[in-house]
Chain A
Amino acid sequence: MELKQTRQGYVDALIELGQEVPELVVLDADVGKATLTLQFQEKYPDRFFNCGVQEQNMLAVAAGMSLEGKIPFASTFGVFATCRAGDQLRNAIAYPKANVKLGITHCGLSVGGDGASHQSNEDMAIVRSFPNMTLLVPGDYQEARLATKAAIYHQGPVYLRLGRDKYPVVPEIHGSFEIGKAKILKRGQDITIVSTGIMISEALKAHQQLTDSGISTRLIHMPTVKPLDDEVVLTAARETAGIVTVEEHSVIGGLGEAVAGVVTGTHPCPVQRIGVQDVFGESGMAPDLFDKYGLRAANVVAAAHQILNRIKTKTP
Chain B
Amino acid sequence: MDIGVQENQLSELKLKCNHIRQQIIKMVHHAQSGHIGGSLGATELVVSLYYHLMKHRPDDPLWPQRDRFVLSKGHCTPVLYAVLADLGYFPQEDLWTFRRPGSHLQGHPYQPKTPGVEATTGALGIGFSTALGMALVAKQRKEDHYYYVVCGDGEIQEGEIWEAAMFANKYKLDNVIAFVDRNYLQTDGNSEDIMPLDPLAPKWEAFGWSTFEIDGHDIGQIIETVTRARDCQGPVMIIANTVKGKGVSFMENAVGWHGGVPSQEDTDKALTELTNGA
* B-binding residues in A (CB < 8 A): 46, 49, 51-52, 54, 56-57, 59-70, 72, 87-88, 90-92, 95-97
- Do A62 and B133 form a contact, CB below 8 Å, given A54-B166, A56-B160? yes
Interface contacts beyond A57-B164, A65-B136: sample of 4 additional A-B pairs, CB < 8 Å, sorted by A? A56-B159, A60-B125, A68-B137, A92-B120
Cβ–Cβ contact A67 & B164, under 8 A? no
* In the complex, chain B residues whose CB is within 8 Å of the CB of A92: 120, 123, 126, 129-130
Cβ–Cβ contact B112 & A63, under 8 A? no
* In the complex, chain B residues whose CB is within 8 Å of the CB of A66: 133
* In the complex, chain A residues whose CB is within 8 Å of the CB of B118: 67
A61: contacting residue among B110, B136, B140, CB under 8 A: B136
- How many A-B residue pairs have C-beta atoms within 8 angstroms? Tell me: 98
Minimum Cβ distance to chain B for residue A45 (Å):
12
Cβ–Cβ contact A61 & B126, under 8 A? no
- Do A96 and B120 form a contact, CB below 8 Å, given A64-B136, A67-B111? yes
- Which residues between 227 and 253 of chain B lie within 8 Å of chain A, taking CB atoms? none
Minimum Cβ distance to chain B for residue A61 (Å):
4
**Complex Cα distance A64/B167, Å?**
13
Smallest CB-CB separation from B117: which chain A residue? A96
* A-binding residues in B (CB < 8 A): 110-112, 118-120, 122-123, 125-126, 128-138, 140, 159-160, 163-164, 166-167, 170-171
Smallest CB-CB separation from A66: which chain B residue? B133
Cβ–Cβ contact A91 & B123, under 8 A? yes
- Do A96 and B110 form a contact, CB below 8 Å, given A56-B125, A88-B129? yes
Cβ–Cβ contact B112 & A96, under 8 A? yes
Smallest CB-CB separation from A65: which chain B residue? B133
**Complex Cα distance A88/B131, Å?**
13
* In the complex, chain A residues whose CB is within 8 Å of the CB of B170: 52
**Complex Cα distance A88/B166, Å?**
18
A63: contacting residue among B133, B135, B159, B166, CB under 8 A: B133
Smallest CB-CB separation from B110: which chain A residue? A96
11 examples of A-B residue contacts, CB within 8 angstroms: A49-B171, A52-B167, A57-B132, A62-B133, A64-B136, A64-B137, A65-B133, A66-B133, A67-B130, A68-B133, A92-B130
Minimum Cβ distance to chain B for residue A232 (Å):
32
B111: contacting residue among A49, A51, A96, CB under 8 A: A96
Minimum Cβ distance to chain B for residue A299 (Å):
40
Cβ–Cβ contact A69 & B120, under 8 A? no
- Do A70 and B120 form a contact, CB below 8 Å, given A61-B132, A96-B112? no
* In the complex, chain A residues whose CB is within 8 Å of the CB of B163: 51-52, 54, 56-57
Cβ–Cβ contact A67 & B167, under 8 A? no
**Complex Cα distance A128/B107, Å?**
25
Cβ–Cβ contact B160 & A64, under 8 A? no
Smallest CB-CB separation from B161: which chain A residue? A57
Smallest CB-CB separation from A61: which chain B residue? B133
Cβ–Cβ contact B126 & A52, under 8 A? no
Minimum Cβ distance to chain B for residue A147 (Å):
24
B138: contacting residue among A61, A68, A88, CB under 8 A: A68
Cβ–Cβ contact B166 & A60, under 8 A? no
**Complex Cα distance A61/B126, Å?**
9
Cβ–Cβ contact B137 & A69, under 8 A? yes
Smallest CB-CB separation from B158: which chain A residue? A56
**Complex Cα distance A138/B140, Å?**
33
